Each structure stands twice: as C-alpha cells, then as structure tokens.
Chains A and B, each alone.
Chain A
C-alpha cells in the first residue's frame, strides 16, 4: 500500500477520481473548487481541461460520460447557476459512464458574491447528494458517487465547503477501482429530450428518487452513531466535524448522502434520544424536512442561518438546550410517496401525428447527409430537433440550449477521435453555441459543428436574433456574421447553400475527414418565411423502384404508392428527393403558383 498522503479536500477529490476509474475532469476555476482540476492535470490517467465557463464544462463532461468515460465536472457554488440548464435536464437523461458534479460552496463568503446553499440543487434536480466531512471522505466518496451514478443512472452532486476544500488532512490511498469501459449506444428516448421522450424520463426520475431514498436508508454513508447522553445531532459535511468535537457524548445521525433524506434513520434517532438538533451551515435544508415529519428539533433558532460554524459556535449555541426539559416525544408522520400522473392514453386505433419537419424544410438536407455519412450527431434545441424523430432518426442527443457543441468536444475528447458532430441552429448558436466553440478551439478539440442557419428563430414563430439583426418591433439592427465570427475565433468555417445537396454533402464529408475543428454553415431561409414553391416533384413510374431513399427523408409530401412513389399536394418543389434519388426517377415540374 502506498504511503499515507496529506491532501487538501480538493486534491483528495482529484486523487479519488483517479482511484475510482475516472478518465475526464473539467471545470471552470472558482474558489474554493479550483485545485481539483489543477491536481487532476498532474495525475497520469486523468484528462483535465479548463472550460470557458461552468455550463460548457458541464456539457463537456456529459459528452465524455456519454462516450463511456467516468467524468467529473467542478465549479464553485455560483458556477452551478451558470451550469443549471444542462444540470436540470441531465437528471432526466441520466448518464452512460458515471458523472459526478462537484459544487464547492462558500459559507462565510470568503471569496464569493453570495452564500447560496447548493444542497437545494440536489432537491431541485432530484439527484443524490453526497457531503464528505473530511479529506479521506473526499477521496473515498468519488468511488461511491460513480457507483451510485451508474447504478441509478443519474448525475451525483458532491458538495464541499471552503473548509473542506482548502483544509488538509491525512488520506489513506485505497486499491484502485476496476472499471469496465462502457460502449456508447444510441438511445434517443433516453438522450433526446423532446417532450414525448422527456415526459417518460421524468416519470423515471420520480421513481428513481424513491429508490434513492430507500438506498439512503440502508447505505453505510448514513450512519447512526450511539452516544451516552440524551441528545442527538443530525449533521453532514464539515458541520459534522464541528458537532462531533463540541459534543463527543452525543448521538449522531451522520448524513453523508443527505438527499434524499432517509426518514427511517431520522425516526430511529428519535427513538434513542428525546432532544435532537440539526447542525447545518446556511439554509435549514435538513431541519425543514425533519420538521415536516412532525418532529421537534433545534435548528436555526439556535444556530446562525448565515456564515461559517466552528465547534465553539456549535457548543455555545446548543449547550443551553441540554439542560432544558426535553420536548414531548412524538411519532414521526412519514410523508407518503408521491403519485404520478396517469400516462397519456392515445385514442385507440388512430394513427399518431407527432410534429415533423415541414415539407420543403431547409434542414432536411443536412439530415440526409448525416444519415448517408453515418455520423453521430449531438443535437440542440429548435425545429431541427425534429430530425430525431422517425423516419429521420438522425440525432443522438438533445440536452439544453447550446449543449451540442460542448458535448461534442467532450465526446470526441473521451474517444480521442472525431467521432461526433454537433448540430445547432443559427439562433441557438448565438444563444450559447459560441462559447463552446471558443472552448473547443482553445482545448484543441476534434469536431464538426454544423450550423443550420435558416435565418430565423423558427420554432417559436420566426423571431429575429443577432445573426439576422431582426428586432421585435420589426426594425433591423446590425447582424453578426457567423463566418467572420469563426475567423475571429480562429476556427475554419465553410458556408454552403442548404438547398444544394451535393455541395452540402461534400462540405460535411470533407470536414468530417479533416482533423481538428471545423464549422459548416448550411444556410437557406426557412420555407415558412419564403413560401418558395419553384415547382413540384414528379415521379417517373417506370424508373422508380420504391427503393425508399426519398421516403427516408421523412418528407410529408412523399408517400409509397403502388409500384412507385407518389407526391402529395404538400410538395414545395425543394428538390431534395430529386437529389437523393439514384435512378433519376424524380424531376421538377413547373406549377402555377396557388393564390
């Protein structure tokens, strides 16, 4: 066995990640979290990256997890606000390889602009929360967190506080965890969070929360420690260490997995003692839950709701309560498990009608190329997310606005090759696709970013954005040019007409085979704005053999007829089916424009 180490909590987390079989650690610096990534960068076997911000870091780690590598993403408490968008929906998608989100809170605001208590994020996102109390637990809990993450298919929030992150102590190294590599398997109902998939995942999240609560009851992470006086303390994290030193004879419910709260263990503490205090820095997170069980407890009326604690503060605050008459014993009122809504029942026997890309949609050509080139495509949020649905089935993920690019960088970094492309619309690119592009350039990520530029924010009803200059009052502001922007970043960028299938195919195929990072802008205005109808497709029934290449485009204007494809009156004459047909069976006929 290696010699005993003397590490800060942050260093212990990095060492613990390596020991737990992690391969990827990223984050954005923020006191008191910074040294985790810095330490990881010194350890053989860990790939460490600084990301441009916490949101991109979260998405990058998600990409690495998706690719099958255990990953850690680190940030300070306020950083999780920046990363909240991917974090909240990550709870729904779950993970592939384990994913641990480290939030470093700062009670006392030694180096922060606010004092928010990020335990609330675990409750908000319905994910398990681990709170180590010392350096050894920082080290050990990484393995616990990865195991929970993979068993329950969830990100795990691991919360430290300043004293833990920057405090130092003995850490005994453990035998490394053997981790089987996980292959990535495309699973749209799990990773593409369009409403019909997300509704199903949300039910699983609620069921998962119940299963995690059952686990919290039996896990050795939550221990009832016997004392010799009629006084019990519920605490986790560094507050446990203060309490233990202040009241060595008390009973303790030490909560290292503090969300979801194990009600049964709380009840058992109350069977052993008549006086109970909750010792927690910042919010009455545990106290409110204990009170909701109908149990008498000493909490924030004695201990401050702001600032840091220490053992003297805890002792002085709680000591007076030991001589008071104990409160009348009460039986806890256990909260019932919440019920789920009835699953939607479709009208029996009727065909479903999910939303689809419009006939003539200028995004369809991109999906035709992606399918032809068999590229994994990490998607984003907009009309083009519909490319994930049958029959196109051309997207691998949809997490949150702007997630595609960071996820692509993490996915490709974890696999060490240009394995996935990002697919992002023009408005979404400006929303939050630019920062991960800069990040990918800075981290020398492999990748192909496809910007589906239909010159509008189409899905919400054709609003303007910085790429078009359009404003809500109809006036035009200065427009940002994507090519110039990419040039400024230093990323090569090719623009093609999205209606020119061959040029698009050549550009995407070329970029997919070129090492490094590149952007392809597929540009053509939304069909609903132009209402372009240059003609209609007509079928040569002699040549058509119903091979299905055009039908695979998922165009509402094409249907398999008897012996040949038929074109419905929804055809806009965009010509994409003509391009993909290998038998020359389709051509464009002029038509008089309809009134």
Chain B
C-alpha cells in the first residue's frame, strides 16, 4: 500500500526467521530506504508457526500488513499457509524443507502436497529451493535461512552490494563466512529452481 513493499518471512520457530528478517531490513536500509519490521517472540518461538514482517519504501508507516509482495518460507507447509498473503504476480521463495507438526506426526492431519498447484492457481511465482541441502554444502544446515535470502535476492530490488552490507550488519562475525557462502549458493540456484 502507498508504495511500500512488504516481505513476510514464515517458518517454524528455531529456523532463524528473525535473523533472516534482520538481514533483509539491514539490506533495505543499505539501499537508503525507510524500513519497519515486526515479529512475535516468546512462546511462539518454540517449534510453532512464526511470522516476521519486513516493510520498506520511501516512507513506511504501519509495521504490519495482511498482504505481501514476497513471502520467504523456511518450511513448505508454512509457505503454503502464507499463500493468502500474496496477490497474483507475487513471489513465494520457499524451502523444500518438510517439518511435520505434531498433529501430522500423530496422523491426525495430513501434510499437504499441493503447494505447486496452489501457487500456480493463484498466479504466483514460486521458487522452490533445497535450502537445507545448499546450506549443508555451505557448511551448516542452520544457514538454510540465508540460502533462501540468496534465492529471494533474485526477486527483490536490492543490489548485491546492499545485500553484502546487510549480511555484514546482521550476522555475527564468527558465522559470517559460512552465511556468505550460503547466500551465494541460494542466489546461484534460484533461477533454475523457479517452478
């Protein structure tokens, strides 16, 4: 709304959503943009669905939005849950990672397998990334959040220099190198993984 772009980051508590949101916010600031970010911490962190919102533009008023131009999902079910945030033409950058919630583990509910059809039906761009695999290749599976940022960098209007500054600003020095590798692998892989 009003020239503001909204990126929603979704996943499972513990997957590094907050860190990814911090990198994204720092990157937007490196572009000279106004940024607002909001997230819910606390109880929701423990293995539950988490949502973080980053909004950027010339002047951002509200910290929240029910709509997003881009969704970055570190888990596939959570990506599917967030489809309602996107309008036709929006982009979902989603990990292939599958983490079954308790109700699925207990076979009370079934894990959906129709993400590709759902996204196509809504006219969305879908980039499905083997984030865990690429993160392991980079050096640690915990960098899968940054792999996704690398993939998302193909659909977000930021320069590589700004992304570099964003990574440097948000990620602690001792894990920066592995995350820079993860980002590069995600960015490299993305075009081929668009469904």
Report the separation of the CA atoms of residues A507 and B110 in the bound assembly, to the nearest whole angstrom.
40
Query: Nearest Cβ distance between residue B32 and chain A, in whole angstroms?
Result: 31
Partner of B47, one of A355, A460, A461, A568: A355
Specify the chain B residue showing the minimal Cβ separation from A390. Answer: B102
Restricting to B104-153, which residues have a CB under 8 Å from any CB of A?
104-107, 109-112, 136, 139-141
Q: How many A-B residue pairs have CB under 8 A?
A: 88
- Chain B residues lying within 8 Å of A554, measured Cβ to Cβ, are 102
Q: Is the interface of A mostly helix, strand, loop or mixed?
A: loop
Q: Which residue of A lies closest to B14 (CB)?
A: A358
In the bound complex, what is the Cα–Cα distance between A560 and B109 (angstroms)? 13
Decide: B42 and A358 in contact? CB cutoff 8 A: no
Q: Is the CB of B140 within 8 A of A560?
A: no
A351 within 8 Å of B (CB atoms): yes
A487 on interface, CB distance cutoff 8 Å: no
Instruction: Say whether B102 contacts A356, CB under 8 Å.
Output: yes
Which of A349, A351, A383, A391 has the most chain B CB atoms inside 10 A of its CB? A351
Residues on B with C-beta less than 8 A from A556 are: 47, 99-100, 102, 105
Determine if B14 and A352 form an interchain contact, defined as CB atoms under 8 angstroms apart: no
A386 contacts B by Cβ under 8 Å:
yes
| Contact assessment for B49 and A353 in the assembled complex, using a CB-CB cutoff below 8 Å | yes
- Residues from chain B with a CB closer than 8 A to the CB of A560 are 105-107
| Chain B contact patch, size range | 35 or more
Set of chain A residues within 8 Å of B167, measured between Cβ atoms: none
A354 within 8 A of B: yes
B46 touches A351 (CB 8 A): no
Which residues A338-375 have CB closer than 8 A to chain B?
A: 347, 349-358
Structural contact, A356 and B46, CB atoms closer than 8 A: yes
A576 at the interface (CB under 8 A from B): no
Pair A347/B48 contact, Cβ less than 8 Å: no
Q: Judging by beta carbons under 8 Å apart, are B103 and A358 in contact? A: no
Q: How far is the CA of A353 from the CA of B104 in the complex (A)?
A: 9
Please pick, from B44, B81, B139, the residue contacting A355 in the complex, using a CB distance under 8 A.
B44
Check if A503 is an interface residue, CB within 8 A of chain B.
Answer: no
Partner of B77, one of A350, A355, A570: A350
Do B43 and A353 touch across chains, with their CB atoms under 8 A apart?
no
Known contacts A347-B80, A595-B139; decide if A355 and B45 are in contact (CB<8 Å).
yes
Contacting pair B139 A347 (CB below 8 A): no
Q: Which residue of B lies closest to A458 (CB)?
A: B46
Interface readout for B42-73 with A: 1 if CB under 8 Å, 0 if not?
A: 11111111000000000000000000000000
Q: Which of A548-582 contact B (CB under 8 A)?
A: 551, 554, 556, 558-560, 568, 570
Does A459 sit at the interface, judged by CB under 8 A?
Answer: yes
A594 in the interface, Cβ–Cβ < 8 Å?
yes
Interface bits B76-111 vs A (CB < 8 Å: 1, else 0): 011011011000000000000001111111110111
Taking a contact as CB atoms closer than 8 A, the residue among B12, B41, B103, B112 that contacts A352 in the complex is B103
Interface status of B16 (Cβ within 8 A of chain A): no
Interface status of A478 (Cβ within 8 A of chain B):
no
Judging by beta carbons under 8 Å apart, are B42 and A460 in contact?
A: yes
For the complex, is A192 an interface residue (Cβ under 8 Å from B)? no
**Which residues of A in the span 410-466 have a Cβ within 8 Å of any Cβ on B?**
459-461
Q: Which of B46, B83, B107, B140 has the most CB of A within 10 A?
A: B46
Q: Is A351 touching B43 in the complex (CB atoms < 8 A)?
A: no
**Nearest 5 interchain pairs by C-beta:** A355-B48, A351-B109, A353-B101, A356-B47, A559-B105
Give 16 new A-B contacts, CB below 8 A, not counting A355-B48, A460-B41.
A194-B43, A351-B101, A351-B112, A352-B103, A353-B101, A354-B48, A355-B45, A355-B46, A356-B47, A356-B102, A357-B46, A390-B102, A391-B106, A554-B102, A560-B106, A560-B107
- Some 21 contacts from A to B, beta carbons below 8 A apart, are A347-B81, A347-B83, A349-B112, A351-B77, A351-B101, A353-B12, A353-B48, A353-B49, A354-B102, A356-B47, A356-B102, A357-B46, A386-B43, A390-B102, A459-B42, A460-B42, A551-B105, A556-B99, A556-B105, A568-B105, A595-B136
